[in-house]
Amino acid sequence: MKEKRNLSGIYFRYNNENIVFEELSEEEQDKILDTKDVDFIKRLTKMLATTIREIGEEFDIKLHQ
Protein backbone atom coordinates (compact mmCIF):
# COMPACT_ATOMS: atom_id res chain seq x y z
CA MET A 1 0.00 0.00 0.00
CA LYS A 2 1.18 3.48 -0.90
CA GLU A 3 2.24 5.72 1.98
CA LYS A 4 -0.29 8.45 2.75
CA ARG A 5 1.48 11.81 2.72
CA ASN A 6 -1.41 14.30 2.99
CA LEU A 7 0.66 16.98 1.22
CA SER A 8 -2.01 19.30 -0.14
CA GLY A 9 -4.42 19.30 2.77
CA ILE A 10 -7.28 19.33 0.23
CA TYR A 11 -9.65 16.73 1.61
CA PHE A 12 -12.69 15.18 0.02
CA ARG A 13 -15.24 12.81 1.46
CA TYR A 14 -14.96 9.69 -0.73
CA ASN A 15 -16.46 6.28 0.09
CA ASN A 16 -17.21 7.44 3.64
CA GLU A 17 -13.58 8.39 4.19
CA ASN A 18 -11.77 11.73 4.28
CA ILE A 19 -8.93 11.54 1.78
CA VAL A 20 -6.66 14.15 0.22
CA PHE A 21 -7.09 14.80 -3.49
CA GLU A 22 -3.62 13.61 -4.54
CA GLU A 23 -4.13 10.22 -2.88
CA LEU A 24 -7.22 9.44 -4.96
CA SER A 25 -6.80 7.43 -8.13
CA GLU A 26 -7.19 9.31 -11.40
CA GLU A 27 -10.60 7.69 -11.84
CA GLU A 28 -11.70 8.81 -8.37
CA GLN A 29 -10.40 12.33 -9.04
CA ASP A 30 -12.41 12.42 -12.29
CA LYS A 31 -15.59 11.39 -10.46
CA ILE A 32 -15.18 14.29 -8.03
CA LEU A 33 -14.14 16.85 -10.65
CA ASP A 34 -17.05 15.92 -12.91
CA THR A 35 -19.42 17.25 -10.23
CA LYS A 36 -17.66 20.61 -9.77
CA ASP A 37 -18.01 23.95 -11.55
CA VAL A 38 -15.28 26.01 -13.23
CA ASP A 39 -14.72 28.28 -10.21
CA PHE A 40 -14.14 25.26 -7.98
CA ILE A 41 -11.59 23.85 -10.47
CA LYS A 42 -9.78 27.20 -10.56
CA ARG A 43 -9.58 27.35 -6.76
CA LEU A 44 -8.38 23.75 -6.57
CA THR A 45 -5.69 24.38 -9.19
CA LYS A 46 -4.43 27.45 -7.34
CA MET A 47 -4.30 25.56 -4.04
CA LEU A 48 -2.33 22.72 -5.64
CA ALA A 49 0.05 25.25 -7.28
CA THR A 50 0.66 26.86 -3.88
CA THR A 51 1.41 23.46 -2.35
CA ILE A 52 3.89 22.60 -5.13
CA ARG A 53 5.61 25.98 -4.75
CA GLU A 54 5.88 25.57 -0.96
CA ILE A 55 7.35 22.07 -1.29
CA GLY A 56 9.85 23.36 -3.87
CA GLU A 57 10.89 26.21 -1.58
CA GLU A 58 11.10 24.03 1.52
CA PHE A 59 13.37 21.47 -0.15
CA ASP A 60 15.12 23.85 -2.59
CA ILE A 61 13.91 21.83 -5.59
CA LYS A 62 14.79 23.25 -8.99
CA LEU A 63 14.46 21.81 -12.47
CA HIS A 64 17.77 21.79 -14.29
CA GLN A 65 17.41 22.41 -17.98
Residue 15 lies in a domain: yes
Residue 64 lies in a domain: no
What's at 33, amino acid-wise? L
Residue 63 lies in a domain: no
Task: Tell me phi and psi for residue 12, to 5 degrees.
Answer: -130, 150
Contact 7, 20 (CB under 8 A): yes
Element (H, E) at 51: helix 38-58
Residue 3 lies in a domain: no
pLDDT tens, residue order, the chain (65 aa): 568 888 999 999 888 999 999 999 999 999 999 999 999 999 999 999 999 999 999 999 988 77
Residue 29 lies in a domain: yes
Structural domains in the chain (count):
1
Domain that holds residue 49: 11-58
Burial of 8 (0-12, 13-18, 19+ CB in 10 A): middle
